[in-house]
């Protein structure tokens, strides 16, 4: 887990090199005086790594969601179906373009319930937005079948599960559009930043133009003489983020391997007593979070006390549940959606999410698991 734990002299050197190369921080233009394009290089590395045709780096995961929805032609009054265990940014992006968020319940994997998804689809549904919460999604195959049958495109939110796979393909490339986040708490980070992935050129062209005020960014044509076909906004990143992204992406495999080792250390001990979050047989998580369940509130409190004592704490569940469960979002959702989120709230209240940290060694996780196991 988070990429900031691996920030070292390599990221610092990458930033210093930008200033040595001429201090061009803007990601576009200045073709005649710059030596390289760091954001473009990072995008190309991501294309290769995730085996997708097009990648676009943007200012945040939230921006990526909004731009992705715009590229799917989601308009005011349209409905977008997402899930009740989520991050509030998803709902905010939907609302910001004038669309209506519809929240599904979650299944035993704590992700979008395909049965409830079917019930929510109607004539106003314009997009389906499954969110791979805390490492993986279980029922992606069933959701893909619904997409195909109903002919409704998927915007796949993989902000929290970078590096995870389903059916031997990276998460984020299974929908028409996929989005990542590189904020400071993600498995790889550029401080702030996001990524849009797609195999559709028309979609990519729209996203590329929309994130930069509609600019076509015609090579060797000055920004002042550039042209536009659509309007847009400023969701650009700087060369600084691109340079850091290149370094961080090279460290992803190290983090994934480290996460896996610590995840199974916890699992081997805690599965003796607790129900563990189920992983689909065709799913390979990024293992950055270990989730198990405890119904007894007093015992749960004791478990959290142990985690806090070891300075590990919890990840989203329960520490930030109000930012990740739509039951608490009465300030931006109608009462109907709040009521529909009660079952999700109850499931999440039984969950405990242990973050897998790079700088916390395996032996310490073993001690933590044993301490939790000994709680009566």
State the fold for domain 252-373: 3.90.1150
Whole-number pLDDT of residue 1: 60
pLDDT bucket at 137, cuts 50 / 70 / 90: confident
Whole-number pLDDT of residue 2: 76
Comma-separated ranges of CATH 3.40.640.10 domains in the chain:
3-249
pLDDT surpasses 70 at 76: yes
pLDDT tens profile 272-329 = 999 999 888 888 999 999 999 999 999 999 999 999 999 999 999 999 999 999 999 9
Mean pLDDT, rounded, of the chain: 95
- Average the pLDDT over 201-206 and give the result: 98
Whole-number pLDDT of residue 145: 94
Place of tokens 């039951």: 327
pLDDT tens profile 205-251 = 999 999 999 999 887 778 888 889 999 999 999 999 999 999 999 99
State the fold for domain 3-249: 3.40.640
Nearest to 340 by CA among 99, 109, 120: 120
Comma-separated ranges of CATH 3.90.1150.10 domains in the chain:
252-373
pLDDT surpasses 90 at 143: yes
């Amino acid at each position: 887990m988070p990429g900031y734990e691996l920030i070292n002299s390599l990221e610092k050197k990458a930033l210093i090199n930008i200033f040595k190369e001429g201090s061009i921080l803007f990601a576009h233009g200045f073709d005649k005086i710059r030596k390289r394009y760091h954001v473009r290089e990072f995008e190309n590395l991501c294309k290769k790594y995730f085996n997708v045709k097009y990648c676009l780096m943007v200012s945040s995961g939230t921006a990526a969601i909004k731009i992705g929805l715009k590229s799917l032609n989601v308009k005011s009054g349209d409905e977008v179906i997402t899930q009740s265990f989520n991050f509030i940014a998803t709902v905010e992006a939907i609302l910001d373009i004038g669309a209506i968020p519809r929240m599904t319940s979650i299944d035993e994997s704590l992700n979008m319930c395909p049965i409830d998804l079917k019930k929510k689809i109607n004539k106003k549904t314009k997009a389906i937005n499954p969110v791979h919460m805390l490492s993986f999604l279980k029922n992606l195959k069933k959701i893909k079948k619904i997409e195909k049958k109903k002919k409704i495109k998927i915007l796949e939110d993989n902000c929290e599960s970078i590096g995870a796979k389903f059916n031997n393909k990276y998460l984020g490339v299974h929908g028409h559009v996929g989005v990542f986040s590189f904020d400071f708490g993600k498995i790889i980070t550029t401080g702030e930043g996001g990524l849009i992935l797609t195999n559709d050129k028309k979609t990519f062209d729209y996203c590329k133009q929309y994130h930069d005020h509609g600019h076509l960014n015609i090579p060797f044509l000055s920004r002042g003489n550039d042209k536009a076909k659509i309007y847009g906004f400023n969701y650009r990143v700087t060369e600084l983020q691109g340079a850091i992204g290149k370094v961080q992406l090279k460290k992803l495999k190290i983090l994934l391997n480290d996460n896996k080792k610590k995840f199974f250390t916890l699992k081997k001990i805690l599965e003796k007593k607790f129900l563990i979050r189920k992983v689909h047989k065709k799913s390979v998580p990024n293992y950055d979070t270990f989730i198990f369940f405890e119904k007894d509130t007093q015992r749960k409190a004791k478990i959290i006390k142990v985690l806090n004592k070891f300075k590990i704490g919890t990840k989203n569940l329960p520490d930030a549940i109000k930012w990740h469960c739509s039951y608490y979002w009465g300030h931006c959702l109608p009462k109907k959606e709040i009521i529909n989120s009660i079952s999700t709230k109850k499931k999440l209240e039984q969950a405990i999410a242990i973050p897998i940290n790079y700088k916390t060694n395996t032996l310490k996780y073993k001690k933590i698991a044993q301490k939790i196991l000994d709680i009566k």
